[in-house]
Structure 1
Amino acid sequence: MRFEVLGPVRVCDDDNGEVAVPPKPRALLAVLLAAGGKPVTVDRLLTELWPDGAPSTATATLQMHVSALRKVVGDRVGTGAGGYRLDLTGAGFDAAEFERTRDLGLWRGDPYEGVAAGPSVAAASARLAELRLQARQEWAQRALADGRHVEAATELAGWVAAQPTAEGLVRLLMVALYRSGRSGEALSTYDRTAAALADLGAHPGPELDALAAAVRRQDPTLDRPAPGVPAQRNRFIGRRAELDRVIELLGQARLLTIAGPGGAGKTRLSVELAREVAADHETVHVVELAEHRDGPLEIRLAAAAGIREEPGTPILDTVTRQLSGRVLLVLDNCEHVLAEAAKLAYTLLAACPGLRIVATSREQLGLSGEVIFTLGGLATPAPGSTDPHSDAVRLLADRVAAARGGTGLAPAEQAVAAELCRRLDGLPLAIELAAARLRALPLSEVVSRLDRQLDLLTGRSPVARHQTMRAAIDWGYELLDVPQQELLRRLGVFAGGFELAAAAAVAGGDPLDPLTQLVDRSMVEWRDGRYRLIETIREYARERLGPAERASAYGELVGYWTTRLATPPPVDGPAHTAWVTTIGAEHDTIVAAADWALREGDPARGLEIVAAMWWYWWVAGRMAEGLGWLDRALAGSAEPSALRARALRAAAALARNSGDLVRARQLGEEGLATFRTLDDRKGVIAALNNLLITAQAQEDYPASLAFGREALEVAERENDARMVAAASNNTAGTLRCMGRLDEAEELFTKGLTGFRALNDRRGEAAALSNLSMIDRRRGRYEPARTAMREALAIYTELGITEGQLDAVEGLAQLDVLESAAENGLRLLVLAERERSALGAPSFTPDEIADRDAAEAAARAALSPAQVARAYRAASETSLDRAVAELL
């Protein structure tokens, strides 16, 4: 048996034939279906079936309708709890199927069509209509991402005709029409929507207005993007045959490995492949593995894909769940983590049926079903031929023109160019390096020098695939003078981009002149204010480092970052934001320094680096990665020390925010015991603060309060103003959870005063939001709103999303209390969506209770149509837009 409400309400038998149900029993069925299998009391049924007032015979008539319905559905209609319920076990129900699958094909008309029933059916109908609208938008977004613009425009046109004021659908229709070459129709659609809104006394929203303006100016950003694919830095020359072949192979397999020597262009080909097939996938992620050292690869994948860990859930489970749908994953530079990359690919392909993987490596992964495409050099002219149209010569000509300010190869140079490309076996990186030399040398001289170097280096590498590329890089390296060579070798310790100050630290002197010359000779890149070695040259530079020079360079790098990280992150807004941005850009190099220190016998400095990095991992939502580094560093440092204690406190904080409260408590208590052993009173204060928050999250309020009272007492005795403020604020949070508002308010105020005196903006925002909660609970809504808005402004200035969500929820609760329940519900729904996307649930018990109570109150105060409208508005509002509105 099957029940259907996505259109006229009906019952179908096992052969999908409709079973006749009289009107009033059908209305009764609609009410029971809207209840989702839960009991409905007789009084509620009378109200639902006779919304204008039940007659005196209604109870008897209801029993008659129940009997009539039982003739159709049998004993699925049962009694209990003073009413009736519909047993849906084993039955089909199209509304439930739609919620699970979002299959728009299940719809036959408007929800619960043809049934005259009361508010519960109206509410269920409004909810389903809202879900259908969301599903339509999701379908259209996927169609546009897939490049199916014409199909999307056709379907959206019908939907918009039925709902001309649904701005989300209108925007998608305008984009679909624009990408289909129908700009005029896109603007006509906007005009019709503006007219429909004007009839209601409304105007198009700013997003719709901005889209119309973009269509009028033919804004290139409206063209179909390839999200997740890095932008091109220069023209992609040649490789059309190879690109067509890998596209064909990818269409036949789920795992394609592009294998070949260093410098062959594996990365560039994989990126261009991703760009060309992006329309065939819902999502594309490019994951660079060249600098990955320790820890699970899924952590690197999560960071690249923007997937935040979820407390209490293994990161691999989170990754596999979020890589749903048609996803293309590019795993670039797998050769140094071949076994781990193969294991990850095997797991992902088994768990994610819509996933395709493109791997680049110097070796195949060795998995069943893997398709290998071997990439060699670009096509070169045949011996004795000049063929200017071969891919290798075309690449050389393009890069020569760039090096010479637009002047390409002269006709007299074609034969020499063909010979150069042949000598380099068409390897793209070698051609790039050769072209760069043409700023200072004639082409014939370049070929003469290269020829001698190649002869000299033949057979030097025991690995055949390295010989030609190594010859090309050796040749460029030998053209450098001694200071340039020494600097290039030392720059190999950087795992990513770097600044001049870091280069100076590693070089042990002023590197500006040789560094500038390395940039001129294309051995080092200068882009966006930072220097960078391309991976092949960086690998070559590391290999050229002798043992003593390697120890010196890495030692200087470790010292540089130990010194820089010794200063705690700044607390004021712009400086804090700049710090987070800087550490994010330097992350790979910082952990490379820590890795060397931990491996090469300097574990104390390695521990010092990773202990100082905890705040970045916390802000960036990379708790598992930070815990992994801290676990490794702590394992090599068993002796009690202030440094070890700080690292334990950092690990405890990361564990708590990962949802592992038991481990957080254990690490925190070990850190506290270490600080006590060392009689480090500042450390004791910080450890007690850490523990009081963990105990608070565990709802162990007596322990939390004891930790907080001691922290405050010691901080006051030590005249540590910042820790007095922090301990006051945190202890007050526990008192608030216990309902002791007078004491909590006094301590929150003390914390706020202290933070402001120190210009600690994050602490100030936390204290303001906490005081706002006290004011709200006491009915002082105006000061509560003022304080929460101020907290929101500070969190926005600092770029702390979790803090923004706390403030948005606080302001939403005030809206609910001040007769603006619909807007309050909109903000609560929006915040819940953003928390889910961030993997950042609230863990403070009383905050969770307040939020749930506000949502329940909002739903109780609103009609079903208003609830549906709030959900629709939330789905159309970004967090940035909501914050701008509130501020």
Structure 2
Amino acid sequence: MRFEVLGPVRVCTSDGEAATLAPKPRALLAVLLAAKGRPVTAERLLGELWPEGAPSTATATLQMHVSALRKVVGDRVGTAPGGYRLDLAGASFDAAEFESGGDLGLWRGDAYEGVAAGPAVSAAAARLTELRLAARHDWAQRTLADGRPVDAATELAGWVAEQPAAEGLVKQLMLALYRSGRAGDALSAYDRTAAALDSLGARPGPDLDALAAAVRRQDPTLDRPAPGVPAQRNRFIGRRAELDRAIHLLGTARLLTVVGPGGAGKTRLSLELAREVAADHDAVHIVELAEHRDGPLDARLAAAVGIREEPGMPVLETVTRQLTGRVLLVLDNCEHVRPQATELAHTLLAVCPGVRVVATSREQLGLSGEVIFALGGLATPAPGAADPHTDAVRLLADRVAAARGGTGLAPAELVVAAELCRRLDGLPLAIELAAARLRALPLAEIVSRLDRRLDLLTGTSPVLRHQTMRAAIDWGYELLDVPQQELLRRLGVFAGGFDLAAAGEVAGADPLDPLTQLVDRSMVEWRDGRYRLIETIREYARERLGPAERAEAFGRLVAYWTRRLAEPPPVDGPAHTEWLAATAAEHDTIMAAADWSLREGDPADGLRIAAAMWWFWWVAGRMAEGLTWLDKALAASAEPSALRARALRAAAALARNSGDLVAARRLGEEGLAVFRGLDDRTGMVAALNNLLITAQAQEDYPASLAFGHEALKLAEQAGDARMVAAASNNTAGTLRCMGRLDEAEPLFTRALEGFRALNDRRGEAAALSNLSTTDRRRGRYEPARRAMREALAVYTELGIAEGQLDAVEGLAQLDVLEGDAEGGLRLLAVAERERTELGAPSFTPDEIADRDQAEAAARGALDAAAVARAYRDATATTLEKAVAQLLG
């Protein structure tokens, strides 16, 4: 049985049919349902059923209505002391379902519709109506957040027609209409609501007025975040005139440089600019340069735009070749790498005709055609004035409201607020820091502290507003207690975001309380589950570290990362993917630890970190960056050691995967020589395996076999099962390249059994792929396909794209051999495209030959239309889609 009150009150039987009830029994049911199973006295029932006054016969009539209701619901209507109750056990009740799940689809009309009853039912209906309104708000917020403003507007229009004075719904309708490109309709909705409120003797609230004003001026904060542009952390206040001017200048130039002092808001303005013009471009990329210290900017640019380097080709050439269409690049924080940033911008603008560049810096780049946009502080009130509408005071008022839990500046505070903004020269960061202090200090005291602690006009820095920012941060720093100051200084060693555990390692103590207080005081940001210092405060914190404290803090950071990186990457799929993401997020800090070790600490630690990072660089396709770090670390720690030999082996692997086989061979042989000199058998086996693959890629098969046989012999003598399996697999690969399949196959089988015994999934996939290739060459297509599909499944589980491509190509070759030339050619084209994007060429000679032969055979078996169709279908097929089809 089902009871329903979200619309006309009714009882539905098990077949879904609504039972017939007369008005008074229905009203009686409504009262009992509103009581939610609690007893209702007869006296109260009389008052509910006859709210205007019960007749003399009401008691007898009530019993008659109870009997009528029992004919429908049975003994669920039971007697209770002095009255009746409705047993809801085992029945469904739409109001209860709505309250627990918020499903708006349960509603069929107004709550308790069609029932003329007293205050209990009215109260229950009012409560459900409010819950319905809240659910509608939640639905609209989710729909807008999902980027579906048209869907939201369609539904909200009907709801607002029902409740034209419901300002919360009207706000969401206006926002949905605005984001649907219907600003005029959004303002019409506001006008209708204003008229509805006026008929009730009221007027729109300040939030609705503010939204209407924002729609009229097309405030960019009303838009959803643009793809490629970070979401706004808080409201963008003021700068409308500057933003309009910057947009105009960008529309007539290809290089716009926003210049100004630290803390003026150059980054924020550039991001808002990118957000507003994003729709005019095919892509927007933010290239953050604040943490870049040495070397070319090519690798950071490639990482920011998601382009992997290609072997044998300079990174910048790869980027410029793939950076097509109308693209906006924001090069943020260029001042400390100005010559390199200038060279990069010059090359991009010369080679990529569709690229526009917005740069932020403390000085111009100095390029021909560069348009300079100078950004100072926000507009402040004139001396002696207290204009609350100037941008600086508006920013302060907004941040004060956030700091005080919604309570903004009082009228009596405006004169002091104007003075504060003038004394801070309108610099946004200084205003933000000042507002954050208002949680603990009155505004007048803050100004008095500025009188003593901050001199806006003089100082040792040649840049006046840099002097202002340093003074503002000095003041904020000195408001901290000793534990907070110490923690802030130590947090300066991080080059990016960090978590609580990392903060604790650097602090050497539990950082939770002081870190929370630093967040409260706006000295540390908390965003997306991680902590972060903005660049200016991070630089300030590092400068505050004394020599001993600096050595201890960086030493702790280095120890933390050497310990974490000592653990090899996990081999199972989800954990491996998580490891990659976590390492990418921490990359800048990890390399800051390595850099400090190489410059000021123990160079061996820098070498240890670089050697441990090679797998990340290899999987992420950042081989050149990895080689740069490894070269630097190897140069700083030249003494022969097992650590140096491991680093050489890592560098050799990255060089080989970059296509530089000569360097890979040289590095690999140097590493082997070190291991031999140390009589390190385990290291020798690993180095020999590395060299085996490189020599194989060079088609130096005699040397490759010699390396392989020695590696296998040493691994067997040491009883190292993993290296036995690896050496068997790699040596068999060389034999297969030489056409000696009878010798290769048992070694591949031995490798597969060894990897499976060790639960080494990556090794297992490699052996399966190799066995499949051997079976294919022997004409055993069914086991070849089975093994290659299994290898593909494992590589997909591990998230190793290069392995997936090997397997896709193997299955494509089988398709061609078994008569599906068009399908095979499509898969080969998908793999070729993905290899180019990943910068992961195949370097095994016989696999390259097999692939080329299969492509030639497929093209030869097809007419021109079929070949074109295969390549066209490949363009529309992602790697993920191809893999899913092959495994489906």
How high is the TM-score relative to the length of structure 1? 0.73
Alpha-carbon distance, 1:462 to partner: 5.0
Give distance in 1, aligned partners of 2:299 and 2:456.
44
- State the partner residue of 2:294: 294
Residue 551 of structure 2 corresponds to residue 551 of structure 1 = yes
Identity of aligned residues (%): 85
**Is 1:573–1:761's contact at 8 Å kept on the other side of the alignment?**
no
Instruction: Go from structure 1 to structure 2 and tell me whether the alpha carbon gap of 1:181 and 1:278 turns closer, same or farther (over 3 Å shift).
Output: closer
Uncovered stretches (5+) of structure 1, i.e. residues with no partner:
1-177, 183-222
**Is 2:456–2:464's contact at 8 Å kept on the other side of the alignment?**
no
Alpha-carbon distance, 1:484 to partner: 0.5
Matches within 5 A, 1:270-669: 270-455=270-455, 459=459, 461-669=461-669
Q: Secondary structure at the match of 2:285?
A: strand
Q: Secondary structure at the match of 2:454?
A: helix
**Is 1:499–1:530's contact at 8 Å kept on the other side of the alignment?**
yes
Alpha-carbon distance, 1:224 to partner: 9.4
- State the partner residue of 1:872: 872
Letter of the structure 1 residue corresponding to residue 710 of structure 2: E
Instruction: Go from structure 1 to structure 2 and tell me whether the alpha carbon gap of 1:353 and 1:871 turns closer, same or farther (over 3 Å shift).
Output: closer
Give distance in 1, aligned partners of 2:482 and 2:316.
47
- State the partner residue of 1:830: 830
Structure 1, residues 547-597: CA drift from partner, whole Å, max 9, x if none?
221122112211221222122222232322222222111110111111111
Q: Secondary structure at the match of 1:331?
A: strand
Give distance in 1, aligned partners of 2:266 and 2:545.
26
Give distance in 1, aligned partners of 2:353 and 2:861.
44
Instruction: Go from structure 1 to structure 2 and tell me whether the alpha carbon gap of 1:478 and 1:772 turns closer, same or farther (over 3 Å shift).
Output: same
Letter of the structure 2 residue corresponding to residue 384 of structure 1: G
Alpha-carbon distance, 1:455 to partner: 4.3
Give distance in 2, aligned partners of 1:704 and 1:284.
47
Alpha-carbon distance, 1:317 to partner: 2.2
Structure 1, residues 676-725: CA drift from partner, whole Å, max 9, x if none?
01101111001000001101111111111111111111011111111111
Give distance in 1, aligned partners of 2:755 and 2:410.
69
Alpha-carbon distance, 1:458 to partner: 5.1
Letter of the structure 2 residue corresponding to residue 350 of structure 1: A
Give distance in 1, aligned partners of 2:357 and 2:852.
42
Alpha-carbon distance, 1:657 to partner: 0.6
- State the partner residue of 2:107: none
Letter of the structure 1 residue corresponding to residue 832 of structure 2: E
Instruction: Go from structure 1 to structure 2 and tell me whether the alpha carbon gap of 1:224 and 1:488 turns closer, same or farther (over 3 Å shift).
Output: closer
**Is 1:297–1:340's contact at 8 Å kept on the other side of the alignment?**
yes
Letter of the structure 2 residue corresponding to residue 696 of structure 1: Q
Alpha-carbon distance, 1:538 to partner: 0.4
Structure 1, residues 747-794: CA drift from partner, whole Å, max 9, x if none?
112111222222222111111111121222223222222222222222
Give distance in 2, aligned partners of 1:518 and 1:248.
39
Letter of the structure 1 residue corresponding to residue 537 of structure 2: I
**Is 1:565–1:613's contact at 8 Å kept on the other side of the alignment?**
yes
Instruction: Go from structure 1 to structure 2 and tell me whether the alpha carbon gap of 1:224 and 1:509 turns closer, same or farther (over 3 Å shift).
Output: closer
- State the partner residue of 1:855: 855
Give distance in 1, aligned partners of 2:614 and 2:278.
36
Letter of the structure 2 residue corresponding to residue 402 of structure 1: A
Letter of the structure 2 residue corresponding to residue 823 of structure 1: G
Alpha-carbon distance, 1:675 to partner: 0.6
Alpha-carbon distance, 1:323 to partner: 3.2
Instruction: Go from structure 1 to structure 2 and tell me whether the alpha carbon gap of 1:491 and 1:623 turns closer, same or farther (over 3 Å shift).
Output: same
Q: Secondary structure at the match of 1:531?
A: strand
- State the partner residue of 2:704: 704
- State the partner residue of 2:204: none
Instruction: Go from structure 1 to structure 2 and tell me whether the alpha carbon gap of 1:571 and 1:427 turns closer, same or farther (over 3 Å shift).
Output: same
Q: Secondary structure at the match of 1:413?
A: helix
Uncovered stretches (5+) of structure 2, i.e. residues with no partner:
1-177, 183-222
Matches within 5 A, 1:241-280: 241-280=241-280
Give distance in 2, aligned partners of 1:403 and 1:793.
52
Q: Secondary structure at the match of 1:672?
A: helix
Letter of the structure 1 residue corresponding to residue 408 of structure 2: G
Instruction: Go from structure 1 to structure 2 and tell me whether the alpha carbon gap of 1:336 and 1:767 turns closer, same or farther (over 3 Å shift).
Output: same
- State the partner residue of 2:49: none
Query: How well do the aligned residues superpose, as a CA RMSD in angstroms?
Result: 2.2
Structure 1, residues 214-250: CA drift from partner, whole Å, max 9, x if none?
xxxxxxxxx9984432232222221111111222222
- State the partner residue of 1:678: 678
Letter of the structure 1 residue corresponding to residue 877 of structure 2: T
Instruction: Go from structure 1 to structure 2 and tell me whether the alpha carbon gap of 1:346 and 1:822 turns closer, same or farther (over 3 Å shift).
Output: closer
Structure 1, residues 780-821: CA drift from partner, whole Å, max 9, x if none?
222222222222222122221111111111122222223333
Give distance in 2, aligned partners of 1:710 and 1:259.
62
**Is 1:572–1:759's contact at 8 Å kept on the other side of the alignment?**
no
Give distance in 2, aligned partners of 1:677 and 1:411.
80
**Is 1:457–1:471's contact at 8 Å kept on the other side of the alignment?**
no
**Is 1:642–1:683's contact at 8 Å kept on the other side of the alignment?**
yes
Judge which range, 334-343 or 715-724, deviates more. Answer: 334-343
Letter of the structure 1 residue corresponding to residue 497 of structure 2: G
Give distance in 2, aligned partners of 1:224 and 1:825.
41
Instruction: Go from structure 1 to structure 2 and tell me whether the alpha carbon gap of 1:746 and 1:264 turns closer, same or farther (over 3 Å shift).
Output: same
**Is 2:332–2:360's contact at 8 Å kept on the other side of the alignment?**
yes
How high is the TM-score relative to the length of structure 2? 0.73
Instruction: Go from structure 1 to structure 2 and tell me whether the alpha carbon gap of 1:457 and 1:646 turns closer, same or farther (over 3 Å shift).
Output: farther
- State the partner residue of 2:778: 778
**Is 1:610–1:633's contact at 8 Å kept on the other side of the alignment?**
yes
**Is 1:692–1:707's contact at 8 Å kept on the other side of the alignment?**
yes
Instruction: Go from structure 1 to structure 2 and tell me whether the alpha carbon gap of 1:181 and 1:382 turns closer, same or farther (over 3 Å shift).
Output: closer
Instruction: Go from structure 1 to structure 2 and tell me whether the alpha carbon gap of 1:289 and 1:559 turns closer, same or farther (over 3 Å shift).
Output: same
Matches within 5 A, 1:710-749: 710-749=710-749
Q: Secondary structure at the match of 2:569?
A: coil
Give distance in 1, aligned partners of 2:372 and 2:291.
24
Alpha-carbon distance, 1:885 to partner: 1.7
Letter of the structure 2 residue corresponding to residue 678 of structure 1: L
Structure 1, residues 274-333: CA drift from partner, whole Å, max 9, x if none?
222233333322111111112211121111111211111122222332334433222111
